[in-house]
Amino acid sequence: TSNQMWGGRFAAGPDAIMEAINASIGYDQRMAAQDIAGSRAHAAMLAKSGIITDSDAEAIREGLLTVLSEIESGNFAFSTALEDIHMNVEARLKEVIGEPAGRLHTGRSRNDQVATDFKLWVRDQMDAATAGIEALIKALLAQAEAGADWVMPGFTHLQTAQPVTWGHHMMAYVEMFARDKSRFEDARRRMNESPLGAAALAGTSFPIDRDMTAAALGFDRPAANSLDAVSDRDFALEFLAASSICAMHLSRMAEELVIWSSAQFRFVTLSDRFSTGSSIMPQKKNPDAAELIRAKIGRIFGANTALLMVMKGLPLAYSKDMQEDKEQVFDAADNLMLALAAMEGMVKDMNANRPSLEAAAGSGFSTATDLADWLVRALNMPFRDAHHVTGSLVAMAESRDCDLPDLSLEDMQSVHAAISADVFDVLGVHNSVASRMSYGGTAPARVREQVARWKEILG
C-alpha cells in the first residue's frame, strides 16, 4: 500500500530497505514537543488568517494536546512506515480528530516544519549549555575565592615557570568558560529567526502570517528568505562549533585534574563521589570522570565535522542529506551537558592540597625571574645581564642540589659582588605572587578583584 501522506502518485509501497534508510523516527521523536508546538502555532495562525475555520483549528489544537500527552506518557506507537516525527504526529492526529487533521499542513511543508522543530530543539540546548557553563563558573569562583592567596607552581611546557595563585589558575578557566558561554549566547541571538511559513522552498500562495507564528514560538522575526530558511543548518553547526571549543576547554581542565590528582603531583584530592576504584589494585582511586570529560571532545568535534561534511556542497534548498543533522547534534548536546555537569561536580568537591601546592611552588627555581627582576631594580642592571647572572646562580644551585633561597649571600656575591641580603625577600613564593600586581596578574589582590567582577556580572 502506498503512503497516506504522499502516496497519490505511487502504485507500490517502499522496499523494506528503503523504509529503513529513510526513517528518522528512531531519533527525531525527541523533537515531539517542538513539533507539536510548531503545529499549534501554525494552526492558530491559519485560523486567524481565515485559511481554516476556527472550529477546525480548535479540533486540531485539542487533538495535538492529546497526541502530546500520549507521547509524554509513553502511550504512543511510533511507526517506521511513517518515517519521521512530523508524519507520526499528523497521522495520529487524523485518527484522533478525523478530517480537520488534513487541513493542518496547508501552507506548510515538512521542510520548514523540520527546520522549525530542530531550531526550537537546538535553541533549548543553547540555553542548557549556557546554564551548565554558568554553574561551572560559579563552582570555579568559589574555589578561586577560597584560594586567592594559595601558592602553586605555574607551568609553561609543563615545566615549573613562576609561582601563581590557586585562585588565579581557577580564574583562568573562568575566562575560558565565560567565552564559551558568550559563544552560545551569540549563536542563539543569530539563530532566532523562524523558518515556519517558508513552506517547501518558495513560500506559499496562502495569506499566512509569519510574524504571528514567529512570535508564538519565541522567535525574534521570520527568516527573510524561504530558500535559505529551509536549507540553513548554520544554527546546528554553530551549536556544534561552540560545543567543540567548550569541550576542548573541558578537556584541558580535565587533563590538569588527572595530572594534579596523581601521587606524583598530589595537588588535589578528588572526591569519592567523582572517582572510581580498581578491581585488582586496592589502593587505586581513579579520576574516571575527568578522563571521560577529557575524551568527550572526540565525539563532539566528530559531530561538528560530520555535519559540516553533510552540508558541504548541498545545492539549495532542502535535500534529504539534511536528515543526518539530528543524531550528531543530539549526541553532542547530551555529552556536552553531561561533561559540564560532571566538571561542575568535580570542581565543587575537589580539595586543593595546600602544603603540596606550596612546596611545589617553591621548587624548580620558580622565583628565578623574581631574582632577575631584583637585579634590574636594585642594581639597575639591564634585564639581559640580570638574566645571565641569575642563570649562573641557578646553575650553582642545581649543582648543589638545592633551591635558590638555600644559597648563602657569599655564594651569590661570588657570582655578582653587588648582590645584598635583601635579595632573599624576593625569593619567597608569597612575595613573588604578591608582587605581580600588573592588571591580570596573579597577585591575590588582583585575583580577588576578578572574583568580585565575575560575581557581579553573574549576579
Provide the annotated active-site residues: 157, 278
Q: Give backbone dihedrals phi and psi of 276, rounded to 5 degrees, phi first.
A: -130, 170
Euclidean distance between CA atoms 75 and 64, whole angstroms: 14
- Which one of the spans 71-79, 244-252, 315-323, 427-435 is the region binding ligand ARG (CB under 6 A)? 315-323
**Residue 231 or 353: which CB sits closer to ligand ARG?**
231
The binder of ligand ARG chosen from 322, 347, 357, 407 (CB under 6 A): 322
- Which one of the spans 189-197, 233-241, 318-326, 440-448 is the region binding ligand ARG (CB under 6 A)? 318-326
- Residue 359: closest CA among 74, 138, 193, 160: 160
Least gap, CB of 320 to ligand ARG (angstroms): 6
Distances (CA, A) of 338 to 237, 277, 332: 20, 21, 10
Q: Give backbone dihedrals phi and psi of 194, rounded to 5 degrees, phi first.
A: -85, 125
Least gap, CB of 235 to ligand ARG (angstroms): 14
**Residue 333 or 371: which CB sits closer to ligand ARG?**
333
**Residue 92 or 436: which CB sits closer to ligand ARG?**
92
**Residue 237 or 293: which CB sits closer to ligand ARG?**
237
Q: Is residue 64 within 8 Å of residue 36, measured between CB atoms? A: yes
Q: Which helix (H) or strand (E) holds 113?
A: helix 110-146
Judge residue 193's burial from the number of C-beta atoms within 10 Å of its C-beta, 0-12 exposed, 13-18 middle, 19 or more buried. Answer: middle
Residue 229 in contact with ligand ARG, rule: CB under 6 A: no
Residue 117 in contact with ligand ARG, rule: CB under 6 A: no
Map the footprint of ligand ARG across residues 14-33, applying CB under 6 A. Answer: 24, 28
Least gap, CB of 41 to ligand ARG (angstroms): 18
**Residue 110 or 169: which CB sits closer to ligand ARG?**
110
**Residue 113 or 243: which CB sits closer to ligand ARG?**
113
The binder of ligand ARG chosen from 42, 105, 110, 123 (CB under 6 A): 110
Euclidean distance between CA atoms 400 and 335, whole angstroms: 51
Q: Is residue 57 within 8 Å of residue 43, measured between CB atoms? A: yes
- Which one of the spans 132-140, 153-161, 256-264, 314-322 is the region binding ligand ARG (CB under 6 A)? 314-322
152 bridge partner residues: 164
Residue 105 in contact with ligand ARG, rule: CB under 6 A: no
Q: Where are the beta strands (DSSP E) in 246-382?
A: 268-269, 351-352
Q: Taking the CA atoms of 216, 220, 224 and 225 in sequence, report the sign of the dihedral they define.
A: negative
The binder of ligand ARG chosen from 44, 64, 114, 360 (CB under 6 A): 114
- Which one of the spans 107-115, 244-252, 389-397, 421-429 is the region binding ligand ARG (CB under 6 A)? 107-115
Map the footprint of ligand ARG across residues 69-88, applying CB under 6 A. Answer: 84
Q: Is residue 451 within 8 Å of residue 170, measured between CB atoms? A: no
135 bridge partner residues: none
C-alpha cell at position 342: 560532571
How much of the chain is in helix, strand and coil states, percent to nearest 5?
70, 5, 25
Least gap, CB of 31 to ligand ARG (angstroms): 9
The binder of ligand ARG chosen from 204, 323, 335, 369 (CB under 6 A): 323
**CA 210 from chain center: how many Å?**
32
Binding site for ligand ARG (CB under 6 A): 24, 28, 84, 110-111, 114, 318, 320, 322-323
